[in-house]
Structure 1
Amino acid sequence: MLVTQYPVFQRFWYPVLPMADLADGPQSFTLLGQPLVLWLTEDGTPAALKDRCCHRSAKLSMGIVQNGGVRCPYHGWAYDREGTCTHVPQLDPGAAIPKTYRVESFQCQERYGYVWVCLSPDPLRPLPEIPEAADPNNRLIPQFYEPWHCSGLRVMENSFDNAHFSIVHAASFGVTEQPKPAKSEIVPLELGLKVYATVPVVNPPIQQQILNIPDSLTVREVESTWYVPFSRTLKITYPNGLMHLIFTAATPVSDSTSQIVQFCVRNDTEADASAASIIAFDRQVVDEDKLVLESTDYNTPVDVTVEQHMPSDQPGIVMRRQLAALIKAHETDLLPA
Structure 2
Amino acid sequence: MLTTQQPVLRRFWYPVIPLDNLLSGPQSFTLLEEPLVLWIDENGQPAALRDRCCHRSAQLSKGMVKDGCVRCPYHGWQYNSSGTCVDVPQLDAGAAIPKTYRVEAFPCVERYGYVWVCLDNNPLQPIPEIPEFADSNFRFIHEFYEPWKVGGLRAIENSFDSAHGHFVHASSWGDMSNPQPPPIDDVTETDFGFVMKHWLEVLNPDLQKKNLGIAAEKTIRTNTRTWYMPFARTLKIQYPNGLEHLIFTAYTPIDDQHSQVVQFCLRNDTETEAKAADIIAFDRQVTAEDRVILEGTDYDAPLSLAEEQHMASDRPGILMRHRLAKLLKEHGETEQRRSGASASSAMDKILEEAVIA
Bucket of the pairwise TM-score, normalised by the shorter protein: over 0.9
User: Equivalent residue of 1:162, what SS?
Assistant: coil
Q: What is the identity, as a one-letter code, of the residue corresponding to 1:295?
A: G
CA separation in 2, counterparts of 1:212 and 1:42? 46
Change in 2 beyond 3 A, CA 1:114/1:230: same
Instruction: Please name the residue that 1:217 is paired with.
Output: 218
Change in 2 beyond 3 A, CA 1:45/1:307: same
User: Equivalent residue of 1:318, what SS?
Assistant: helix
Q: What is the identity, as a one-letter code, of the residue corresponding to 1:274?
A: K
CA separation in 1, counterparts of 2:178 and 2:189? 27
The aligned runs of 1:109-258 (5 Å cut-off) are: 109-184=109-184, 185-258=186-259
Instruction: Please name the residue that 2:79 is paired with.
Output: 79
Instruction: Please name the residue that 2:355 is paired with.
Output: none
Check whether the contact 1:188–1:318 (CA below 8 A) recurs between aligned residues. no
CA separation in 1, counterparts of 2:198 and 2:333? 39
Gaps of 5+ in 1: none
Instruction: Please name the residue that 2:26 is paired with.
Output: 26
User: Shift of the alpha carbon at 1:155?
Assistant: 1.2
Instruction: Please name the residue that 1:267 is paired with.
Output: 268
User: Shift of the alpha carbon at 1:177?
Assistant: 1.2
CA separation in 1, counterparts of 2:8 and 2:182? 34
Instruction: Please name the residue that 1:297 is paired with.
Output: 298
User: Shift of the alpha carbon at 1:332?
Assistant: 5.9
Q: Work out whether 1:324 is the aligned partner of 2:325.
A: yes
User: Equivalent residue of 2:234, what SS?
Assistant: strand
Q: Give me the identity figure in percent.
A: 60
Alignment RMSD:
0.9
User: What CA deviation, in whole Å up to 9, does each residue of 1:296-318 have, x standing for no partner?
Assistant: 00111011111110000000000
Instruction: Please name the residue that 2:350 is paired with.
Output: none
Q: What is the identity, as a one-letter code, of the residue corresponding to 2:246?
A: L
User: Shift of the alpha carbon at 1:125?
Assistant: 0.1
User: Equivalent residue of 2:157, what SS?
Assistant: helix
User: What CA deviation, in whole Å up to 9, does each residue of 1:167-217 have, x standing for no partner?
Assistant: 100110012211001211222223301110111000111100111011111
Check whether the contact 1:244–1:266 (CA below 8 A) recurs between aligned residues. yes
CA separation in 2, counterparts of 1:332 and 1:175? 42
User: What CA deviation, in whole Å up to 9, does each residue of 1:131-159 have, x standing for no partner?
Assistant: 01121221110000000111111111111
Check whether the contact 1:108–1:116 (CA below 8 A) recurs between aligned residues. yes
CA separation in 2, counterparts of 1:199 and 1:137? 25
Q: What is the identity, as a one-letter code, of the residue corresponding to 1:311?
A: A
CA separation in 2, counterparts of 1:49 and 1:188? 35
Gaps of 5+ in 2: 335-357
**Number of matched residues?**
333
Q: What is the identity, as a one-letter code, of the residue corresponding to 1:302?
A: L
CA separation in 1, counterparts of 2:61 and 2:167? 43
User: What CA deviation, in whole Å up to 9, does each residue of 1:250-289 have, x standing for no partner?
Assistant: 0000000000000000000111111100000000000000
CA separation in 1, counterparts of 2:202 and 2:323? 30
* TM-score (norm: length of structure 2): 0.92
* TM-score (norm: length of structure 1): 0.98
Change in 2 beyond 3 A, CA 1:332/1:205: closer
Check whether the contact 1:58–1:73 (CA below 8 A) recurs between aligned residues. yes
Q: What is the identity, as a one-letter code, of the residue corresponding to 1:243?
A: E
